[in-house]
């Protein structure tokens, strides 16, 4: 049955995009959602659920067909991310990192050999990806990174530590940034494609979090890790534009994931407000609960509109829509957090019990306010674009 929200969300999608939503939603609700709480309780990485994605093309929504992918258009990619995130943060993150940060960078900056080597493996799910960007000294100020890449015969030696790294234990490909000259700050940043299974000098340790136990975030240490010359993505010292482009696409997919999370909060709050009674009536009949439902709906749809508009700009060939990416990411992540808070409030104390999902959604949504640029960074960037201080 189509809800009023479905009509809004689907209004100006093409028939193909509507079909994508239908197929992905059906898959996600039946094949992923019923198992997520169990993985969370067992603190187990959902490898078996990830394995369900490639046969349907859901592992490679941004990879062209010639490399085994299922690219249709950027809006469709956003729809996929939204529906996957609506059921599981981790599954959505697997696809988001692999497509936006890693495959997107290879497609744009990689050599033919790098495309042939990596993209089919990412598309068929045999190679999960991690992005090793954040360092103990900070994730926002990436130009100030301390990891180094030193030229040696036949390749490079990487040294440094990366923290908060999603999927590292299971990844067959690391997108790593390190500096070839620390004194040059942004000008020293260089991007590499690293095979962690074939590289000596890489150790992966636990990076325990209060949330997302099933994602098993890691810290990754590079100690004189040798990578061959063909691991270089782009040119030495020219990694900052690679990073910028990766994060730009990453912001689109994270924003779409936030819409999915915000929608999930509504999915859970609506039936609860209609079932739970107080003072002889359903709580959904109290004006203050209705206020929250109305705010949650408006926030979700406003964020969705911003994400679709950004996707359409990308589909129309706008090379970098940086301000719009920041706007979509900022609005959508704040919508996801506020919707989680409202959904918890509607659930009363049960919102924080293990019996209900909404409490978990709050910390998961909050984490999306950090990845691919914090809310403060995006606020600053939007203002700088508007003031003409920043150009891209």
Q: Which of these, 74, 72, 40, lies nearest to 56 by C-alpha position? A: 72
Find the shortest distance in angstroms from Cβ 363 to ligand FAD: 9
Burial 170-195 (b: 16+ CB within 10 A, else e): bbbbbbbbbbbeeeeebebbbbbbbb
Query: How many chain residues bind ligand FAD (CB under 6 A)?
Result: 20
Find the shortest distance in angstroms from Cβ 79 to ligand FAD: 23
CA atoms within 13 A on the CB side of 102: 34
**Residue 150, CA distances (Å) to 178, 202, 221, 232, 294 in order:** 9, 16, 16, 12, 55
Q: What are phi and psi of 234, to 5 degrees?
A: 80, -150
Q: Which of 35, 207, 286, 370 binds ligand FAD (CB under 6 A)?
A: 370
Strand 202-206 vs strand 281-282: parallel, antiparallel, or unpaired?
unpaired
Q: Which of 119, 204, 367, 382 binds ligand FAD (CB under 6 A)?
A: 367
Report the site for ligand FAD in 139-158 (rule: CB under 6 A).
Answer: 139-140
User: Which residue's CB is nearer to ligand FAD, number 6 or number 141?
Assistant: 141
Q: Which of 276, 377, 384, 390 binds ligand FAD (CB under 6 A)?
A: 377
Stretch that binds ligand FAD, among 2-10, 285-293, 321-329, 374-382 (CB under 6 A): 374-382
Stretch that binds ligand FAD, among 13-21, 71-79, 272-280, 369-377 (CB under 6 A): 369-377
Find the shortest distance in angstroms from Cβ 180 to ligand FAD: 19
Structure-token match 């997107």, residue found: 104
User: Which residue's CB is nearer to ligand FAD, number 217 or number 321?
Assistant: 217
Residue 166 in contact with ligand FAD, rule: CB under 6 A: yes
Separation CA 149–CA 272 (nearest Å): 54
In the shown chain, the binding pattern of residues 100 to 139 toward ligand FAD, with x for contact by CB under 6 A and - for none, equals ------------------------------xxxxx---xx
Catalytic residue among 83, 372, 376, 384: 372
Separation CA 37–CA 34 (nearest Å): 7
Residue 96 in contact with ligand FAD, rule: CB under 6 A: no
Which position's Cβ is nearest ligand FAD? Answer: 139
Find the shortest distance in angstroms from Cβ 133 to ligand FAD: 3
Q: Which of 29, 380, 384, 385 binds ligand FAD (CB under 6 A)?
A: 380
Tokens for 31? 């094949």
Cβ atoms < 10 Å from Cβ of 54: 17
Residue 385 in contact with ligand FAD, rule: CB under 6 A: no
Strand 171-179 vs strand 128-132: parallel, antiparallel, or unpaired?
parallel
Q: Which of 60, 122, 212, 341 binds ligand FAD (CB under 6 A)?
A: 212
Has 372 been annotated as catalytic? yes
Residue 301 in contact with ligand FAD, rule: CB under 6 A: no
Find the shortest distance in angstroms from Cβ 246 to ligand FAD: 11
Cβ atoms < 10 Å from Cβ of 306: 21
DSSP conformational letter for 217:
-
**Residue 330, CA distances (Å) to 150, 229, 335 in order:** 36, 38, 9
Structure-token match 């000098």, residue found: 201
CA 245 to chain CA centroid, nearest Å: 15
Residue 165 in contact with ligand FAD, rule: CB under 6 A: yes
Instruction: Please identify every residue annotated as catalytic.
Output: 372
Q: Can you give the binding site for ligand FAD, defined by CB under 6 A?
A: 130-134, 138-140, 164-166, 212, 217, 367, 370-371, 374, 376-377, 380
């Amino acid at each position: 049955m189509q809800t009023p929200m479905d009509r809004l969300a689907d209004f100006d999608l093409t028939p193909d995009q509507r079909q994508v939503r239908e197929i992905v939603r059906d898959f996600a609700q039946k094949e992923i959602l019923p198992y997520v709480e169990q993985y969370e309780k067992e603190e187990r990485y959902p490898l078996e659920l990830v394995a369900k994605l490639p046969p349907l093309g859901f592992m490679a929504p941004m990879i062209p067909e010639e490399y085994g992918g299922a690219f249709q258009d950027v809006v469709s990619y956003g729809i996929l991310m939204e529906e996957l995130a609506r059921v599981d943060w981790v599954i959505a993150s697997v696809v988001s990192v692999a497509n936006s940060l890693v495959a997107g960078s290879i497609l744009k900056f990689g050599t033919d050999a790098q495309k042939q080597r990596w993209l089919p493996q990412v598309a068929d799910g045999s190679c999960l990806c991690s992005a090793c960007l954040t360092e103990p000294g900070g994730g926002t100020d990436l130009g100030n990174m301390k990891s180094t890449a030193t030229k040696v015969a036949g390749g490079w030696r990487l040294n440094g530590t990366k923290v908060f790294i999603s999927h590292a234990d299971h990844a067959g490909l690391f997108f790593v940034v390190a500096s070839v000259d620390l004194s040059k700050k942004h000008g020293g940043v260089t991007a590499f494609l690293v095979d962690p299974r074939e590289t000596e000098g890489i150790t992966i340790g636990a990076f325990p979090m209060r949330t997302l136990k099933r994602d098993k975030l890691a810290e990754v240490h590079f100690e004189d890790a040798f990578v061959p010359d063909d691991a270089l993505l782009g040119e030495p010292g020219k990694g900052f534009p690679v990073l910028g482009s990766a994060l730009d696409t990453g912001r689109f997919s994270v924003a779409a994931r936030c819409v999915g999370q915000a929608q999930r909060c509504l999915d859970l709050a609506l039936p609860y407000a209609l079932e739970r009674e107080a003072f002889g009536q359903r709580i959904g009949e109290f004006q203050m609960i209705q206020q929250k439902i109305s705010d949650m709906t408006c926030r979700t749809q406003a964020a969705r509109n911003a994400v679709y508009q950004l996707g359409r700009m990308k589909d129309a060939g706008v090379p970098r829509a940086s301000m719009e990416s920041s706007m979509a990411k900022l609005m959508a992540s704040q919508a996801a957090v506020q919707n989680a808070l409202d959904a918890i409030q509607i659930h009363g104390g049960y919102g924080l019990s293990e019996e209900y999902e909404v409490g978990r959604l709050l910390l998961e949504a909050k984490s999306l306010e950090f990845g691919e640029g914090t809310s403060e960074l995006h606020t600053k960037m939007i203002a700088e674009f508007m003031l003409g201080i920043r150009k891209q």
